[in-house]
Amino acid sequence: MTKEKTNANAMWGGRFDEKPSDIMDLINVCIDVDVRLWRQDLRLSKAHAEMLARQEILTEGDVSTLIGGLSDIEKEFEDGTFPLRREYEDIHMNIEARLRELVGDVAGRLHTARSRNDQVATSFRMWVRDAIGELITDIDTLRATLAKLSAEHKSATMPGFTHLQAAQPITLGRHLDAYAQMLARDKSRLEDCQKRLNECPLGAAALAGTPFPIDRDFTAGKLGFDRPMPSTLDAVSARDFANEFLFACAQAGLHLSRLAEEIILWATPQFGFITLSDQWSTGSSIMPQKKNPDAAELVRGKTGRLTGNLVQMMTVMKGLPLAYNKDMQEDKEHVFDSFDTISLCLKAMDGMLSTAAFNTARMRSAALEGFTTATALADWLVMSLNMPFRDAHHVTGAIVKLAEGQGCRLDELSLADMQSVHADITEDVFRVLKI
Ligand code: ARG
């Protein structure tokens, strides 16, 4: 590792004689990750500059130069020509360095009355807020698909399961609707997180605020926040919004993984409830007959990442003293990953379901197996013969045993067979034994 006697960092190197070591550079630089904040950082800087002019902290002339330069940078990002440079560590310093190249020394005035600590906290909150908006669109798309399928199959009989054993006959529509309900809660969890995170850290500066006569209400309003965060220390060091977001993503992923598991089971020849389209299946390199539900398996598997990301972030934050600590630079990568992952899973699930064929005849015949109307029989005994439920349960058990012995379904037993278990049973019972 080389030690060069040059003042390496133009942003903070005033008191430094040496460059960071190569390994220091590797552990410190995060531009590859936080480049995704560019849009939010530019919007923030424009609002901040505008506020500095309004408060007469900077001149109108300087601020219009700064805002012009920031707009040019925006175009460079959009065209893919913005030069990302490791020597400027992160997105915030890359943008400021580029601004200096474009507009000259006045660029140095942009950082008046702010710190990277309130800058990163604010732009990260804005990013998560935008990400939630996109995820809600993905969730709504999948909910609409589930609602459509539910309506289409509202009379399609299938076995409902407990312990993965046939339990009672239900409809496919009702089964799918359960997932639509879970997704509605996933959406409301994200909305809730979005509501709570929508306070603006800007103005907290490094941690203690700033002596300049800034207008925090103006910047908060301009950036779409409900209000400035009341505590400057909390503003720069709170990351519970990221934890909440990660939990909401993990929980949505967990719901999708349950649906994925059912798709995987249902696609087996043994179940045969669903046939995935070729678009959403893969083949085996050795077994020509195979059609594998890989997308569903990956949705199920990616729940591991989503849960891991939540645990990672909570572990980073545990025990950190106030206020900002560099540990917190580890906050973004996993949030970005959870967003990418859950967004992909929601889209894949939507694609799989909207192109799948549900084999309702097979579901119906499966619903006839496994004595699934036994609970209906017990209820009939209670309602028609005024039997206590516990006794009805025993009588029904005996009738199931009888059918099992004869190798037939409940509705294939004769009335005489049933009366041999309980003499008061009448012909009317067949009404509930059929599905
Ligand atoms: N890249 C840093 C992060 O994401 C920005 C904040 C740096 N602040 C500081 N005091 N070094 O956390």
**Rounded CA separation 41/28 (Å):** 20
Query: What is the pLDDT, as a whole number, of residue 329?
Result: 98
Residue 2's pLDDT is: 43
Q: Does 30 sit in the ligand 1 pocket, CB within 6 Å?
A: yes
CATH number of 16-112: 1.10.275.10
Whose CA is closest to atom 11 on ligand 1? Answer: 326
pLDDT of amino acid 7: 54
Cis preceding linkage at 267, omega within 30: no
Give me the pLDDT at residue 268, please.
96
d(CA 218, CA 274): 55
Give pLDDT, residue 427: 97
Class level of CATH domain 117-361: mainly alpha
195 beta partners: none
Domain covering 368-433 assigned CATH 1.10.40.30 in the classification: yes
pLDDT at residue 8 in the model: 58
Binding site membership of 329 for ligand 1 (Cβ less than 6 Å): yes
pLDDT 10s digit of each residue in the chain, 435 long?
Answer: 444 445 557 777 788 988 889 999 999 999 999 999 999 999 999 999 999 999 999 999 999 999 999 999 999 999 999 999 999 999 999 999 999 999 999 999 999 999 999 999 999 999 999 999 999 999 999 999 999 999 999 999 999 999 999 999 999 999 999 999 999 999 999 999 999 999 999 999 999 999 999 999 999 999 999 999 999 999 999 999 999 999 999 999 999 999 999 999 999 999 999 999 999 988 878 787 878 999 999 999 999 999 999 999 999 999 999 999 999 999 999 999 999 999 999 999 999 999 999 999 999 999 998 899 999 999 999 999 999 999 999 999 999 999 999 999 999 999 999 999 999 999 999 999 988
Residue of 38, 117, 202, 327 best suited for mutating to test ligand 1, as the one with most atoms within 8 Å of CB: 117
Residue 324: CB within 6 Å of ligand 1?
Answer: yes
Cα 201 to Cα 116: distance, rounded to the nearest angstrom? 11
Active-site positions read 163, 284
Helical packing angle, 332-355 and 294-317, nearest 10°: 160
- Ligand 1 within 6 A of CB of 127: no
Query: Could you tell me the two tokens for 337?
Result: 């990953």
Domain boundaries, the chain: 16-112, 117-361, 368-433
Query: Global pTM?
Result: 0.94
pLDDT attached to residue 3: 45
Distance from the CA of 116 to the center of ligand 1, in angstroms?
6
CA of residue 314 to ligand 1 center, whole Å: 18
- pLDDT tens readout for residues 252-291: 999 999 999 999 999 999 999 999 999 998 887 878 787 8
